[in-house]
C-alpha cells in the first residue's frame, strides 16, 4: 500500500510539472521574443543562470503565445535604483507595451523615486493598486513572483504573500483606470487575453526560473 501511495504521488507530480511551459530555465530561452519583433533581441543576455538586460540597451520582451487564464512564476532581482515590470494581457497595437498591458511593478523601493508612493512600489498593480504588504527583499536578493489570472480574478503574489487582488474588467478596475495616467490610453486593459511581457528598457534587471501554465 505504501508503495502504491508513493507511486500515485509521483505520477501526480509528473502530471503537474508537465503542465508548465518553461520560458527560461537558466540556459535556454523558449517562447520569448522582442516586443513587435520576431526574435529575441540582443539587448538581453544569459549570465550566471539569469536572463538579464545589457546596460544602456532596452527592448521589452513578450511571450510568443497568448494567454487568458494562466499562472506565471519567476524570480527577479534589481540593482540599486533599479526598475522593471511584468506585463500581462499585452497586445502589440501600441508603440509601447504599457499602452495596453497591466503591470506588476518590479523595483528597488528604497532608492527609486517610484518607491516613495505605494501605488508604484514593488508588487503593485502599477499606478492603481498598492501592495497590501511590504514583502520585497533588499537589492541584490531575488524576489519570487506568482501572477494568477482565472476567470478575470487577478492575484499578484510576492515572496509567498498575496499582495494584490482585483477583478479584471470590473467597474472597480475601470474606476482605478479613470483616476490614473492610463485614462488617456485607449488600448489600456481592453484585451480579454494577451501576451506576457518583461520590461527591458529601464536599465539592468535579472530574471530567472520563468515558467507559465494555462488554467
Q: CA-to-CA distance for 108 and 101, rounded, in angstroms? A: 21
Q: Are 174 and 84 in contact (CB under 8 A)?
A: no
| pTM to 2 decimal places | 0.91
What pLDDT, on the 0 to 100 scale, is given for residue 19?
95
Task: Give residue 62's domain range.
Answer: 22-214
Instruction: Spell out the residues 6+ positions from residue 28 whose beta carbon is closer than 8 angstroms to its own.
Output: none
pLDDT surpasses 60 at 1: no
- Let me know if residue 141 belongs to a domain: yes
- Let me know if residue 28 belongs to a domain: yes
pLDDT band at 5 (very low <50, low <70, confident <90, very high): low
- Short-list 166, 159, 167, 154, CA closest to 134: 159
pLDDT band at 56 (very low <50, low <70, confident <90, very high): confident
Cβ atoms < 10 Å from Cβ of 98 = 22
- Let me know if residue 82 belongs to a domain: yes
Question: What digits encode the pLDDT tens for the residues 103-153?
Answer: 999 999 999 999 999 999 999 999 999 999 999 999 999 999 999 999 999
What pLDDT, on the 0 to 100 scale, is given for residue 2?
54
Number of domains in the chain: 1
What pLDDT, on the 0 to 100 scale, is given for residue 42?
94
- Let me know if residue 102 belongs to a domain: yes
pLDDT surpasses 70 at 14: no
Mean pLDDT of 8-36: 80
- Let me know if residue 188 belongs to a domain: yes
- Let me know if residue 5 belongs to a domain: no
- Let me know if residue 83 belongs to a domain: yes
What pLDDT, on the 0 to 100 scale, is given for residue 17?
63
DSSP structural state of residue 55: T
Instruction: Spell out the residues 6+ positions from residue 24 whose beta carbon is closer than 8 angstroms to its own.
Output: 30, 32, 51, 74, 207, 208, 209, 210
Pairing of strands 195-198, 61-63: antiparallel
- Let me know if residue 163 belongs to a domain: yes
What pLDDT, on the 0 to 100 scale, is given for residue 87?
98
Q: What is the CATH number of the domain that holds 128?
A: 2.60.120.560
Mean pLDDT of 15-28: 86
Amino acid at each position: 500500500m505504501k508503495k502504491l501511495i508513493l507511486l500515485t504521488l509521483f505520477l501526480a507530480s509528473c502530471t503537474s510539472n508537465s503542465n508548465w511551459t518553461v520560458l527560461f530555465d537558466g540556459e535556454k530561452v523558449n517562447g520569448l521574443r522582442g516586443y513587435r519583433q520576431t526574435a529575441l533581441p540582443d539587448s538581453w543576455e544569459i549570465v550566471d543562470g539569469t536572463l538579464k538586460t545589457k546596460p544602456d540597451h532596452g527592448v521589452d520582451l513578450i511571450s510568443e503565445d497568448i494567454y487568458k487564464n494562466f499562472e506565471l512564476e519567476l524570480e527577479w532581482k534589481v540593482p540599486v535604483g533599479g526598475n522593471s515590470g511584468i506585463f500581462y494581457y499585452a497586445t502589440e497595437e501600441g508603440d509601447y507595451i504599457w499602452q495596453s498591458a497591466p503591470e506588476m511593478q518590479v523595483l528597488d523601493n528604497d532608492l527609486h523615486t517610484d518607491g516613495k508612493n505605494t501605488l508604484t512600489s514593488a508588487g503593485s498593480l502599477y499606478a492603481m493598486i498598492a501592495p497590501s504588504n511590504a514583502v520585497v527583499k533588499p537589492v541584490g536578493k531575488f524576489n519570487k513572483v506568482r501572477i494568477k489570472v482565472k476567470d478575470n480574478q487577478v492575484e499578484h503574489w510576492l515572496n509567498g504573500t498575496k499582495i494584490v487582488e482585483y477583478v479584471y474588467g470590473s467597474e472597480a478596475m475601470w474606476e482605478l483606470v479613470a483616476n490614473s495616467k492610463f485614462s488617456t490610453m485607449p488600448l489600456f486593459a481592453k484585451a480579454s487575453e494577451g501576451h506576457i511581457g518583461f520590461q527591458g528598457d529601464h536599465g539592468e534587471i535579472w530574471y530567472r526560473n520563468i515558467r507559465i501554465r494555462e488554467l
